[in-house]
Structure 1
Amino acid sequence: MSTEPKDELEGTEAPFVSHLVELRDRLVRALIAVGIAFGILAAYPGPAGLYDMLAAPLVATLPHGATMIATNVISPFLVPLKITLMAALMLALPVVLYQLWAFVAPGLYSHEKRLVLPLVVSSTLLFFAGVAFCYFFVFGKVFAFIQSFAPKSITAAPDIEAYLGFVLSMFIAFGVAFEVPVVVVVLARMGVVSVEKLRAWRGYFIVVAFIVSAVITPPDVVSQLSLAIPMCLLYEVGILAAGLFIRHTQAPETAE
């Protein structure tokens, strides 16, 4: 007499309407978290204070007495408000991701949970790490490098909207670039490529990393190296993590 393994998800099915209700509730909770974070940041340090913090790496490299300017009438109001909203989204991101995880977790097997939850947590931490690396290290080096080439006859007075667009693009570029280990792990776990192939393609990835950094960063050596070198190091981390994930997230074998 053969015994079939019991399905972990048996009896957990729910009507479609109940899924929609749960999705609505979790979206509301995520929005509430963002709203609370926005209210806290608006109270302290405030939109103006947040913009001053964001502009600090650039202002520190400007000539003495130089300031940033606003070419649009409502820019002094809208730009700090946009920054506050962006900071609120990042501050509430763990709550938002938890609501997403809580919504999909009941439909996952135990071995899938062991894969998805670490990926959600690690991808969030890596994105924050990329943004922090860009702000605390890259910006100061890049702005100082650029200002060193500015002629003395030119007074630098960057526009606050243009600066915000530049900062957002750099944050996204470094945040996404730091997701390299997650991408490597997912590709290896799905069987798209083996760990051995990833090791063999190490040289090709280095070339791709420098090409990508040259395309998405400003045309200076400092920012390009600041993006390409971490990507190469994180690729190695991804290869090591892929082997661990593949061993610990395999589906249990079914026996007849």
Structure 2
Amino acid sequence: MSLGDHLRELRNRLVKSVLAVVVCTIAAFFFKDKLLHFLMHPLPACDAAGHPKSGDKHCAKIAVIGVTQPFNLTLKVCLTAALVASVPIWLYQLWSFISPGLHRHERRYSLTFLALGTPLFLGGVTCGYLLMPTTIEVLGSFTPIGADQILPVEDYLNIATRMLLVFGLAFEFPLLLVMLNMGGVLTGKRMLGWWRGMVMAITVFAAVATPSADPVSMLALAAPIWVLYFMAVGFALLNDRRRRRRNPDADLSDEEASHLDLSVQEVGAAEEVAASGPESASPTPLASVPPARSEQVDDDIT
């Protein structure tokens, strides 16, 4: 395919993904109240007297500021739910765009990655949702004594949606490393050599990605990615060993020559060869020889 064909194919895949998100957003609009209640459930709301409920150290008064804010909040919640619900669709569109450039066995692996990508994303979203009460409690602990915390719903939903999407996408990182290893781009040995830098990079990413500055939220995001990273390294090492058994030169780069066996081997004794008997000559009958024609000789001379 030409570059223009690739761009048109990418446009079609993006349009299908966007349409899937739009359809899921419209469907989520009919459940907006339940979705809002689901996202705001981790928020420690105050009781009627303005005091924390039983089991909560802090509480926040929820406020909706502005005329258009309720509509914006509803749209944001429905869009976030649509992104999560349409994960299999846009992952499939991504795989369909990449699969024509893969071999048959690589396509089989890609289907496996697609089947694993959806539960990993949903697992990250679940982890972020379960961590939400701790995040809100840590952030609320900085409220001055005697002051009432009035929390706009928009600020809380920004934190909630950011955590859910970041946690979901972060859980896809080890799967990306496995895909690069299956494609021959990364080796398990190289990935294992990066473990110190990767642990540090994952920790810094968790510290930046989590809205709160507490170590609990940071470790809650970093620890699962550490485990998934080392699982990806173990899988890559096993895959490299399997590939090496099939092809000893599988780990060589395109600019590295393969090993040649230049050892001198001993030449054995010469074998005796018996002479074959003379073949019986069968005379050709004269009748089978075509008579010469003078016309043919004249043509040849001409």
* SS of residue in 2 equivalent to 1:59: coil
What is the distance in 1 between the residues matched to 2:242 and 2:122? 26
Alignment partner of 1:63 is 2:52: yes
What is the distance in 1 between the residues matched to 2:10 and 2:190? 40
What is the distance in 1 between the residues matched to 2:181 and 2:12? 35
Asked if 2 retains the 8 angstrom alpha-carbon contact of 1:115 and 1:249, the reply is no
Query: Structure 1: which 5+ residue stretches go unaligned?
Result: 1-12
Q: Indicate the residue corresponding to 1:34 in structure 2.
A: 21
Asked if 2 retains the 8 angstrom alpha-carbon contact of 1:71 and 1:159, the reply is yes
Bigger shift: residues 95-104 or 202-211: 95-104
Residues paired across the two proteins, number = 236
What is the distance in 1 between the residues matched to 2:180 and 2:7? 29
Query: Structure 2: which 5+ residue stretches go unaligned?
Result: 54-58, 248-302
Asked if 1 retains the 8 angstrom alpha-carbon contact of 2:189 and 2:237, the reply is no
What is the distance in 2 between the residues matched to 1:114 and 1:166? 38
Q: What do residues 206-239 of structure 1 show as CA deviations (whole Å, max 9, x unaligned)?
A: 2222222222222111111111211211111111
Q: Whose radius of gyration is greater, 1 or 2? A: 2
Structure number with higher relative contact order (C-alpha < 8 Å, ≥ 6 residues apart): 1
Matches within 5 A, 1:5-20: 20=8
| Sequence identity percentage | 33
Matches within 5 A, 1:191-202: 191-202=184-195
Letter in 2 for 1:48: D
Q: 1:140 to 1:30 in 2, by over 3 A?
A: same
In the superposition, the TM-score normalised over structure 2's length comes to: 0.65
Q: Indicate the residue corresponding to 2:152 in structure 1.
A: 159
Letter in 1 for 2:52: P
In the superposition, the TM-score normalised over structure 1's length comes to: 0.75
* SS of residue in 2 equivalent to 1:58: coil
Bigger shift: residues 60-69 or 77-86: 60-69
Q: What do residues 131-174 of structure 1 show as CA deviations (whole Å, max 9, x unaligned)?
A: 110002x1122222333443331212211222222223222322
Aligned structure 1 segments of 4 or more residues deviating by more than 6 angstroms? 16-19, 22-25, 247-250
What is the distance in 2 between the residues matched to 1:204 and 1:23? 34
Q: Indicate the residue corresponding to 1:81 in structure 2.
A: 75
Asked if 1 retains the 8 angstrom alpha-carbon contact of 2:207 and 2:218, the reply is yes
Q: Indicate the residue corresponding to 2:279 in structure 1.
A: none
Alignment partner of 1:233 is 2:232: no
Match of 2:208 among 215, 223, 237: 215
- RMSD of the TM alignment (CA)? 3.4
Larger helix share, 1 or 2: 1
What is the distance in 2 between the residues matched to 1:208 and 1:19? 33
Letter in 2 for 1:177: A
Letter in 1 for 2:176: V
Q: What do residues 31-70 of structure 1 show as CA deviations (whole Å, max 9, x unaligned)?
A: 5543442333222x2x233122111112358835843112
What is the distance in 2 between the residues matched to 1:99 and 1:215? 30
Asked if 1 retains the 8 angstrom alpha-carbon contact of 2:43 and 2:133, the reply is yes
Q: Indicate the residue corresponding to 1:53 in structure 2.
A: 38
Bigger shift: residues 238-247 or 172-181: 238-247
Asked if 2 retains the 8 angstrom alpha-carbon contact of 1:114 and 1:249, the reply is no
Q: How much does 1:184 deviate?
A: 2.3
Matches within 5 A, 1:89-100: 89-100=83-94
What is the distance in 2 between the residues matched to 1:51 and 1:105? 38
